[in-house]
């Protein structure tokens, strides 16, 4: 017997606890943690079940009409599973981390309420069965993340929050117009493998082209494509677990995932190629990759450096999508997962440095490796993976991207990836060098790093776990149910004629 | 349009009603004193009543249409109610401005 | 018939004349008391004449009764109003005189 | 050849227009109000010329009489305040004038282009008059054909009195004006007569011009005189009764409208056999409510015991 | 069931609050209880009527059995039911809020006065509103808008404060002028058509007197709806009234005149696209001017009031699409926006009232300079803001979506841009208080998380919650709305 409401149940594990979390008194920390972790664990279980069923060929879908002709539609297809699996696992880990991070901090009820809402929105984005539903959750994500970004309530946080809100809401509005236009033009917003724009693109290519531009612009804001990226480094004022989630799972990934959906399942990759939009998109992604890396080089603030690195790395996904080659697509999809694992590790590690040692800038990182070996081990693994060292996760995705570039006849991609990797190395290796090989008393930030506070297991364990996942995802890339394998499964569907 | 100027009672008072309405409208828009503004609005009301009554008129020595008459009577009562409220407000504002609470 | 008609016309015309006189008096006389004088006296008579004229033309006794009542009530209220106005005017005049006196006697 | 009566109409119309302008132009506030009262009376006269005696009565009694009293009372309250010049020449004034001239000209143009007396409902009214329960068409329209309008109109009065009571409260403390012997005698004679006239107007409404509103206005005038001379002073103890009198018209009217809606009849559909008596009962009660409400609107405040804090000023 | 079917639920929706008003005026001490009883009965009537309409199509009652044009017909179609439902929903929750705002526990003579008079005025207002939504006769509508206007002014000045009185007088003048323009229009219409029922007048649309009549009605109703540039009276009136009164004024009263305008537009006059364009441009002006003022004002209630000006303007964009292929969609969007605005704005005013009550002021700049944070009220405010901005899944989103869809189908991109601008503006001005709620570094003391919670937060919170999720029921609302094809069969 089939439990057809499974997608709703998964959504509900995050959404249903939101009112509970808001209503809990501030002091009921233990109860709150129990609720959070139980829900997260149930969700991982449900997602595992769902993945199993989907891999067997079952497609789940539920929906009901919201506006005339337009349905709220949840659909668990393989592409969705990819994203849900990432978010549910990382949610569990980040929740543990947040509990440790916010211990005794103010406004925890509010924080965890919006945190859950944020995850619910991510799940909704993943399972959206049409662009309309995608839009609903895309906006919900904006609403849910804003209070998290400004959680500290300082003037700086509010300023950052305002910029964040302006960018994301404007992006959402553009996406709204795009969705509406698609609906008016095509009479449907459904995601369907192979797309549904073939006829329209043939009939009125100019309009289809404009629609594509509008949709990508709307999504590009959250995906932090240059020139819509400025909010991302500014949003760094958020607490570390929020930054981790924003960069690894929620916001930027929502944008990248949306681009994927639009290219593959609204237009269809072949239509997109025929329209001639893929190459410009690839170039935009390439520019973003280089620009982000260059900016990252000069940042002294650890989180800012990581943020620019995200700008760069997320565009790998877009690049892979835009290359219009199945091999590159495998790289893109795999990178969706891999980048999430790597980046969340680094942000949690950065948070630990700030919490435990008060280290917030690169120049103060001297000798931290000896003082917080576990954390720095995780950080190092993730950084090396980012650079693309085999057999770590980052290498796998870069390999496929490069092969895809060749496959698509775009040789410049190889050069781009090489340059990017060199730049990655240029901004990550000095950090590793300072951490492991420079003495603590040397350097400009010695004063800053003088104090030390013990951090609990809830802070130290999560980055290690995710670092292990980075290792496993890369090392066991060919095992069944590894991200790469699942990706192949998805791409086989999307590139089906 | 057919401007057939047969000068009968209905035409005369219809035009007069329009002019009174216009005068009232001008007053309502231009006058700053509240009491006079109330009166200007009443002029508008009477002007509108003129049109309704003329609409009911069926010529000299003919019985008129009773429906507009009923409407105007209703309108007059509505108008006096509105006027009473407006005047009460004006009085109250004056009292408050001059520190008289009762 | 013609006789009654012409008598009625005569009465009404005369009444109108008195009204005219009263109105001119109202406009031309110098102070409140004189104006009141002109108004009440002349208008009362004018109304009486018009009512008389109308009564001559009336079709039934009921109408005549109503005309008489109209005249009666108008005269009553006119007289009362005139009296009230006059009282008021006298009070005002007295007040004005008092202030004038105070001003004059002030050193 | 212009008919003499048309000439009269022409002069009357010009006078109405001139006096309407006077309301805006006259500098003195008292003169302005007097001007308005004259305007109302002349309008009523014009409406008589337009074969609308019911409306003329209502306008003279309510639109001019009661309203004039309200205006004078307000003026007395504001005494001491100099009335601002009626029209100051501002930048906006020209624009306003142009705008209103445009509206007026458009109105006149449209009016002249539309035939008078083309379409109307008099035929339908005449057809159904026999079934309405009353013989006077205007009363039939007010109390039967469009009874819902009339009910809501009584409701408007009720809203007004509730609103006015909510704004002002307290009992009048100014000494009674000295009116003199002549006035007292006049009041003794006229007040009972006025009550009779009010009742007569109400009763005659079934067959001829008159009815609840005109009768109510005359009765209200009685109330006004009583209030002005302090022959009657509303006291806190009277509030309950006053509230009942204000609402009884609305309540009974609405109750009857709902009550008759049974046995397949619609709301407001009086049974043919009882139509006349029901209408008369409604009219009588509504008259009382109207009279009391209008008088209360003139009095303008809820009578409550004045607290120490309030009397201080 | 047959017994229920024979009851005139339609007329009762007007009579029930009327009799309730009478009773609450007679027994001032029992006013809240009577008020609630009569509201409940009215709500029941609306539900029964809605059931009738949904089951069997539009309900028409010929009062007195005469039938139009001699008598008056009342009619409830889908549009009427939606408006009645909106009124009852907002009314019930605002009344709950009023129960606390004017509760006997609060001291003071002013409060006692407000407690006495709020209920009769509000029930009379409700009677007028319901009457307007079921009327099919333009003179009857004139009387209804006067009932509404006088009751609304009574509610505006209920606080008894001088600034409220002054604002009320200004409102009074605007309202009277609007009503008189309407009355003149009635006169012209009768002169032309000799009848006053919608159907009879529709046959004469396009004749000169009817065109002038429509122009006058348009201006009069725009004045009452506070459509830019005729909005001058609104901000002060809505900002100076007590919170429940503001909620009713902004949520319900404006909608009545807007509804009448909409009804006339589609059912009687069907004016040309030029007038539609004019109204659309007025709406655009309202969006811009209202937003700019909302960005500049220093007081929370004024901000909320100015936002009403802007939001009403956005709704009026639908008029510009009236004779295009996107008309039906745009009208549906406009009605949804009206409902969304009613619910959200009522919630917002109630929440603003609660915030002012807890913090003792409503200066936007000082919202964060205190440790007093009535978080529930602030949360309600934020939820209401979501609907006003038009974020999913609120009804505001659904309405905006349909409005923009209509514009897009008509190929009129300019109105899409206006709607987008309105959205961005609303984010900008509504984020001013929201930032105040969320900023903590200027508070003198540590801020308590659950400070200032009270049972009185429940009405705004529930209303705001309904506003924020009701977009999910949009298709059901539209299903009801389309009963009887209020917007006509369009190509």
pLDDT at residue D170 in the model:
66
Residue D246 has pLDDT above 90, yes or no: yes
CA-to-CA dists, residue A245 to A95, A219, A461, A482, E322, angstroms:
10, 18, 16, 21, 46
CB A459 within 8 A of CB A100: yes
CB E227 within 8 A of CB E283: yes
Instruction: Tell me the per-residue pLDDT of B85-94, one tens digit each, with 9 for 90 and over.
Output: 999 999 888 8
* Sequence-separated contacts (24+) of A206-214 with Cβ below 8 Å: A208/A267, A208/A271, A208/A275, A209/A275, A209/A276, A209/A277, A211/A178, A211/A181, A211/A182, A211/A185, A212/A262, A212/A267, A212/A272, A212/A275, A212/A277, A213/A277, A214/A174, A214/A177, A214/A178, A214/A181
Are B78 and E191 a contacting pair at CB < 8 A? no
On whether any CB of chain E is under 8 Å from the CB of D159, the answer is yes
Please tell me which chains touch C, using 3 or more CB pairs under 8 Å as the contact test: D
To the nearest whole angstrom, how far is the Cα of C87 from the nearest Cα of chain D? 9
Residue A437 has pLDDT above 50, yes or no: yes
Q: How far apart are CA E406 and CA A494, in angstroms?
A: 33
Q: Which of D268, D271, D301, D304 to mutate to test the interface with E (most CBs of E within 10 A)?
A: D268
pLDDT at residue E274 in the model:
86
Cα A19 from chain centroid (whole Å): 25
At residue A140's C-alpha, the angle toward residues A134 and A142, to 5°, is: 110
pLDDT band at D213 (very low <50, low <70, confident <90, very high): confident
pLDDT band at C40 (very low <50, low <70, confident <90, very high): confident
Enter the DSSP assignment of E371. Answer: S
Closest to A393 in 3D by CA, of A443, A337, A313: A337
Q: Which residue has the tokens 């592409």?
A: A79
Are E431 and A165 a contacting pair at CB < 8 A? yes
Are B89 and E186 a contacting pair at CB < 8 A? no
Residue D10 has pLDDT above 70, yes or no: yes
Q: How many CB atoms lie within 10 A of CB D93?
A: 14
Q: Across residues A338-353, what is the average pLDDT?
A: 90
Instruction: Tell me the per-residue pLDDT of C64-99, one tens digit each, with 9 for 90 and over.
Output: 898 888 888 888 888 888 888 888 888 877 777 776
Q: In terms of CA atoms, which chain C residue is nearest residue D182?
A: C80
Q: How far apart are the first and last CA of chain E?
A: 39
Closest to D166 in 3D by CA, of E128, E252, E111, E99: E111
Q: Which residue has the tokens 């905006």?
A: E400
Q: Across residues E171-178, what is the average pLDDT?
A: 95
Residue A217 has pLDDT above 50, yes or no: yes
At residue A75's C-alpha, the angle toward residues A80 and A344, to 5°, is: 25
Q: Which residue in E6, E140, E190 is closest to D148 by CB distance?
A: E140
Question: Does C have 3 or more CB contacts under 8 Å with E?
Answer: no
CB B11 within 8 A of CB D2: no
pLDDT band at E333 (very low <50, low <70, confident <90, very high): very high
Q: Which of E117, E170, E184, E192 to mutate to test the interface with B (most CBs of B within 10 A)?
A: E184
Q: Which residues fall within 8 angstroms of residue A160, CB to CB, at 6 or more apart?
A: A149, A150, A234, A235, A236, A237, A238
Checking DSSP bridges between strand E59-62 and strand E73-76, what pairing results, if any?
Answer: antiparallel
pLDDT band at A451 (very low <50, low <70, confident <90, very high): low
Q: How far apart are CA B77 and CA B71, in angstroms?
A: 10
pLDDT band at E489 (very low <50, low <70, confident <90, very high): low
Give helix E273-296 / helix E300-320 axis angle, nearest 10°.
Answer: 160
Q: Give the mean pLDDT of chain A.
A: 86
Are D120 and B58 a contacting pair at CB < 8 A? yes
Q: What is the number of structural domains in chain B?
A: 1
To the nearest whole angstrom, how far is the Cα of B85 from the nearest Cα of chain D? 6
Q: Which residue in D16, D47, D141 is closest to B66 by CB distance?
A: D141
Q: Where are the domains of chain A?
A: 291-497
Q: Which residue in B1, B64, B99 is closest to D113 by CB distance?
A: B1
CB A56 within 8 A of CB A78: no
**A contacts of E439 (beta carbons < 8 Å):** 153-155, 158
Q: Give the mean pLDDT of chain D.
A: 86
Closest to D126 in 3D by CA, of B68, B70, B66: B66
CB D53 within 8 A of CB D136: no
Query: Is the overall model pTM greater than 0.80, yes or no?
Result: yes
To the nearest whole angstrom, how far is the Cα of E202 from the nearest Cα of chain D? 15
Q: Where are the domains of chain C?
A: 2-105
To the nearest whole angstrom, how far is the Cα of B80 from the nearest Cα of chain D? 6
Q: How far apart are CA E282 and CA E297, in angstroms?
A: 22
Closest to B73 in 3D by CA, of D62, A400, A408: D62
Q: How far apart are the first and last CA of chain B?
A: 59
Are E128 and D152 a contacting pair at CB < 8 A? yes
Residue-range definition of the domain harbouring residue B92: 9-97
Backbone angles phi, psi at D307, to 5 degrees: -80, 170
pLDDT at residue D35 in the model:
92
At residue B12's C-alpha, the angle toward residues B11 and B18, to 5°, is: 85
Closest to E425 in 3D by CA, of E300, E289, E333, E267: E289
Q: Which residue in D178, D186, D193 is closest to C80 by CB distance?
A: D186
Q: How far apart are CA C19 and CA B100, in angstroms?
A: 46
Classify residue B3: in a domain, yes or no: no
Are E183 and B86 a contacting pair at CB < 8 A? no
On whether any CB of chain A is under 8 Å from the CB of E435, the answer is yes
Which three-class secondary structure state does DSSP give residue E53? Answer: helix
CB A87 within 8 A of CB A43: no
Residue B4 has pLDDT above 60, yes or no: no
Instruction: Tell me the per-residue pLDDT of B61-77, one tens digit each, with 9 for 90 and over.
Output: 788 899 999 999 999 99
Instruction: Tell me the per-residue pLDDT of A250-265, one tens digit each, with 9 for 90 and over.
Output: 888 899 999 999 998 8
Q: Which residue in E146, E169, E187 is closest to B52 by CB distance?
A: E187
Q: Across residues E231-238, what is the average pLDDT?
A: 92
Are C73 and D190 a contacting pair at CB < 8 A? yes
Q: Which residue in E149, E165, E177 is closest to B41 by CB distance?
A: E177
CATH code of the domain containing B78: 1.10.287
Q: How many CB atoms lie within 10 A of CB D28?
A: 11
Are A155 and E439 a contacting pair at CB < 8 A? yes
Count the residues in chain E: 491
Which three-class secondary structure state does DSSP give residue A154? Answer: coil
Q: How far apart are CA B41 and CA B21, in angstroms?
A: 9
pLDDT at residue B3 in the model:
43
pLDDT at residue A365 in the model:
85
pLDDT band at C35 (very low <50, low <70, confident <90, very high): confident
pLDDT band at A235 (very low <50, low <70, confident <90, very high): confident
Which of 78-97 (C) contact D at CB < 8 A?
79-80, 83-84, 87
What are A310's two structure tokens?
């995200």
Three-state SS sequence of E102-147: CCCCCCCHHHHHHHHHHHHHHHHHHHHHHHHHHECEHHHHHHHHHH
pLDDT at residue E490 in the model:
43
**D contacts of E162 (beta carbons < 8 Å):** none
Residue A16 has pLDDT above 70, yes or no: yes
To the nearest whole angstrom, how far is the Cα of B94 from the nearest Cα of chain D? 7
Q: Which of B28, B51, B80 to mutate to test the interface with E (most CBs of E within 10 A)?
A: B51
Complex prediction ipTM: 0.89
To the nearest whole angstrom, how far is the Cα of E204 from the nearest Cα of chain B? 16
Closest to E172 in 3D by CA, of E192, E142, E148: E148
Number of B/D CB contacts below 8 angstroms equals 288
Are D116 and B15 a contacting pair at CB < 8 A? no
Number of B/E CB contacts below 8 angstroms equals 87
């Amino acid at each position: 017997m089939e439990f057809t409401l499974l997608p709703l149940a998964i959504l509900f594990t995050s959404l249903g606890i939101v009112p509970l979390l808001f209503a809990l008194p501030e002091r009921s920390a233990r109860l709150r943690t129990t609720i959070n972790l139980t829900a997260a664990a149930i969700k991982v279980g449900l997602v595992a079940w769902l993945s199993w069923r989907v891999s067997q060929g079952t497609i789940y879908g539920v929906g009901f009409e919201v506006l005339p002709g337009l349905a709220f539609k949840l659909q668990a297809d393989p592409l969705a599973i990819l994203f849900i699996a990432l978010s549910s696992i990382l949610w569990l880990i980040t929740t543990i981390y947040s509990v440790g991070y916010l211990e005794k901090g103010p406004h925890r009820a509010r924080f965890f309420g919006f945190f859950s809402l944020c995850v619910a929105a991510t799940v909704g984005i993943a399972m959206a069965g049409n662009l309309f539903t995608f839009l609903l959750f895309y906006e919900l994500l904006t609403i849910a993340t804003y209070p998290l970004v400004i959680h500290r309530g300082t003037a700086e946080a509010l300023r950052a929050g305002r910029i964040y809100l302006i960018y994301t809401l404007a992006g959402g509005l553009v996406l709204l117009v795009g969705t509406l236009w698609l609906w008016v033009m095509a009479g449907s917003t459904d995601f369907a493998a192979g797309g549904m724009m073939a006829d329209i693109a043939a009939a009125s290519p100019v309009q289809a082209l404009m629609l594509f531009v509008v949709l990508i612009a709307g999504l590009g804001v959250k995906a932090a494509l240059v020139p819509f990226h400025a909010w991302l480094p500014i949003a760094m004022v958020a607490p570390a677990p929020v930054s981790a989630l924003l960069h690894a799972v929620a916001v930027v990934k929502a944008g990248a995932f949306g681009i994927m959906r639009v290219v593959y399942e609204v237009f269809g990759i072949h239509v997109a190629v025929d329209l001639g939009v893929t190459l410009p998109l690839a170039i935009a992604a390439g520019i973003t990759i280089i620009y982000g890396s260059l900016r990252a080089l000069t940042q002294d603030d650890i989180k800012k450096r990581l943020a620019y690195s995200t700008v760069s790395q997320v565009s790998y996904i877009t690049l892979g999508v835009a290359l219009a080659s199945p091999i590159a697509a495998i790289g893109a999809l795999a990178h969706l997962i891999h980048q999430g694992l790597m980046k969340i590790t680094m942000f949690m590690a950065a948070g630990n440095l700030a919490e435990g040692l008060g280290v917030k800038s690169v120049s103060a990182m001297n000798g931290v490796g000896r003082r917080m070996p576990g954390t720095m081990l995780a950080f190092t693994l993730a950084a090396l993976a980012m650079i693309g060292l085999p057999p770590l996760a980052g290498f796998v995705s870069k390999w496929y991207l490069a092969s895809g570039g060749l496959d698509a006849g775009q040789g410049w991609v190889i050069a781009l990836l090489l340059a990017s990797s060199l730049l990655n190395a240029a901004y990550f290796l000095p950090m590793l060098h300072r951490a492991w090989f420079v003495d603590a008393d040397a350097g400009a930030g010695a004063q800053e790093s003088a104090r030390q506070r013990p951090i609990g297991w809830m802070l130290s364990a999560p980055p290690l776990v995710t670092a292990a996942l980075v290792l496993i995802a890369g090392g066991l890339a060919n095992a069944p149910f590894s991200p790469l394998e699942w990706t192949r499964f998805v791409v086989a569907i999307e590139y089906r004629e | 349009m057919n401007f057939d100027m047969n000068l009968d009672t209905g035409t005369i008072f219809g035009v007069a009603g329009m002019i009174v309405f216009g005068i009232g409208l001008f007053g309502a828009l231009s006058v700053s004193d509240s009491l006079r503004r109330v009166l200007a609005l009443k002029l508008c009301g009477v002007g509108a009543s003129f049109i309704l009554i003329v609409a009911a008129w069926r010529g000299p020595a003919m019985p008129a249409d009773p429906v507009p008459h009923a409407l105007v009577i209703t309108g007059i009562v509505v108008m006096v109610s509105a006027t009473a409220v407006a005047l009460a407000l004006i009085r109250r504002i004056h009292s408050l401005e001059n520190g008289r609470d009762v | 018939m013609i006789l009654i008609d012409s008598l009625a016309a005569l009465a009404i015309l005369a009444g109108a004349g008195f009204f005219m006189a009263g109105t001119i008096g109202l406009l031309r006389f110098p102070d409140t008391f004189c104006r009141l004088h002109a108004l009440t006296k002349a208008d009362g008579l004018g109304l009486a004449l018009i009512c008389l004229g109308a009564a001559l033309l009336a079709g039934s006794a009921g109408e005549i009764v109503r005309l008489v009542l109209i005249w009666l009530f108008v005269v009553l209220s006119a007289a009362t109003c005139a009296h009230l106005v006059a009282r008021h005017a006298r009070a005002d005049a007295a007040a004005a005189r008092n202030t004038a006196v105070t001003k004059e006697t002030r050193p | 050849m212009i008919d003499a009566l048309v000439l009269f109409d022409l002069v009357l119309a010009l006078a109405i227009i001139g006096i309407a302008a006077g309301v805006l132009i006259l500098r003195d506030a008292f003169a302005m109000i007097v001007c308005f009262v004259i305007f109302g009376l002349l309008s009523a006269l014009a409406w008589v010329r337009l074969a609308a005696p019911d409306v003329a009565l209502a306008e003279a009694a309510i639109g001019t009489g009661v309203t004039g009293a309200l205006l004078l009372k307000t003026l007395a309250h504001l005494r001491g305040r100099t009335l601002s010049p009626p029209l100051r020449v501002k930048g906006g004034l020209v624009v306003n004038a142009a705008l209103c001239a445009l509206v007026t000209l458009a109105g006149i143009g449209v009016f002249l282009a539309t035939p008078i007396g083309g379409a109307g409902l008099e035929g339908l009214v005449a057809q159904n008059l026999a079934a309405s329960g009353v013989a006077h068409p205007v009363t039939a329209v007010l109390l039967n054909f469009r009874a819902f309008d009339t009910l809501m109109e009584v409701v408007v009065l009720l809203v007004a009195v509730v609103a006015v009571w909510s704004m002002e409260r307290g009992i009048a403390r100014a000494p009674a004006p000295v009116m003199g012997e002549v006035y007292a005698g006049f009041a003794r004679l006229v007040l009972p007569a006025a009550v009779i006239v009010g009742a007569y107007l109400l009763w005659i409404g079934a067959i001829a011009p008159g009815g609840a509103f005109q009768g109510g206005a005359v009765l209200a005038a009685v109330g006004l005189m009583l209030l002005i001379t302090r022959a009657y002073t509303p006291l806190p103890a009277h509030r309950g009764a006053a509230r009942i009198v204000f609402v009884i018209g609305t309540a009974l009217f609405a109750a009857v409208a709902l009550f008759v809606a049974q046995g397949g009849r619609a709301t407001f559909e009086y049974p043919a056999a009882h139509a006349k008596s029901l209408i008369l009962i409604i009219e009588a009660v509504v008259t009382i409510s109207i009279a009391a409400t209008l008088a209360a609107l003139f009095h303008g405040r809820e009578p409550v015991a004045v607290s120490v804090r309030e009397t201080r000023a | 069931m047959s017994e229920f079917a024979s009851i005139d639920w339609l007329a009762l929706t007007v009579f029930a609050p009327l009799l309730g008003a009478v009773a609450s005026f007679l027994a001032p001490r029992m006013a809240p209880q009577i008020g609630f009883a009569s509201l409940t009965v009215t709500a029941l009537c609306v539900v029964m009527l809605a059931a009738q309409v949904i089951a069997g199509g539009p309900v028409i009652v010929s009062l007195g059995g005469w039938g139009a044009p001699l008598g008056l017909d009342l009619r409830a179609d889908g549009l009427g039911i939606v408006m009645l439902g909106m009124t009852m929903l907002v009314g019930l929750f605002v009344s709950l809020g009023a129960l606390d705002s004017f509760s006997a526990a609060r001291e003071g003579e002013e409060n006692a006065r407000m407690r006495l008079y709020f209920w009769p005025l509000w029930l009379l207002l409700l009677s007028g509103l319901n009457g307007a939504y079921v009327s099919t006769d333009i003179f009857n509508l004139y009387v209804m808008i006067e009932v509404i206007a006088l009751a609304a002014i009574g509610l505006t000045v209920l606080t008894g404060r001088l600034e409220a009185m002054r604002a009320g007088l200004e409102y009074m003048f605007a309202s009277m002028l609007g009503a008189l323009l309407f009355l003149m229009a009635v006169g012209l219409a009768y002169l032309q058509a000799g009848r006053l029922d919608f159907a009879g007048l529709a046959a004469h649309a396009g004749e000169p007197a009817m065109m002038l009549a429509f122009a006058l009605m348009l201006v009069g109703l725009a004045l009452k709806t506070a459509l830019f540039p005729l909005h001058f009276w609104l901000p002060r009136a809505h900002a100076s009234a007590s919170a429940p009164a503001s909620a009713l004024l902004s949520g319900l009263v404006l909608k009545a005149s807007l509804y009448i305008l909409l009804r006339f537009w589609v059912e009687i006059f069907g004016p040309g696209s030029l007038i539609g364009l004019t109204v659309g441009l007025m709406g655009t002006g309202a969006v811009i001017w209202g937003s700019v003022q909302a960005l500049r004002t220093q007081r929370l209630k004024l901000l909320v009031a100015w936002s009403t000006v802007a939001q009403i303007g956005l709704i009026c964009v639908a008029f510009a699409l009236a004779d295009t292929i996107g008309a039906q969609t745009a009208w549906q969007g406009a009605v949804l926006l009206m409902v969304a605005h009613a619910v959200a704005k009522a919630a917002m005013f109630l929440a603003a009232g609660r915030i002012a009550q807890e913090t003792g002021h409503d200066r936007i700049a000082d919202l964060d300079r205190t440790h007093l944070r009535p978080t529930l009220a602030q949360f309600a405010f934020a939820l209401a803001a979501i609907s006003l901005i038009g974020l999913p899944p609120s009804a505001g989103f659904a309405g905006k979506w349909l409005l923009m869809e209509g514009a897009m189908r008509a190929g009129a991109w300019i109105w899409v841009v206006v709607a987008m601008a309105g959205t961005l503006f609303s984010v900008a001005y509504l984020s001013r208080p929201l930032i105040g709620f969320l900023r903590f570094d200027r508070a003198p003391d540590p801020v308590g998380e659950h400070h200032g919670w009270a049972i009185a937060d429940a009405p705004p919170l529930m209303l705001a919650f309904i506003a924020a999720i009701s977009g999910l029921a949009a298709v059901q609302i539209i299903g009801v709305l389309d009963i009887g094809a209020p917007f006509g069969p369009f190509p």
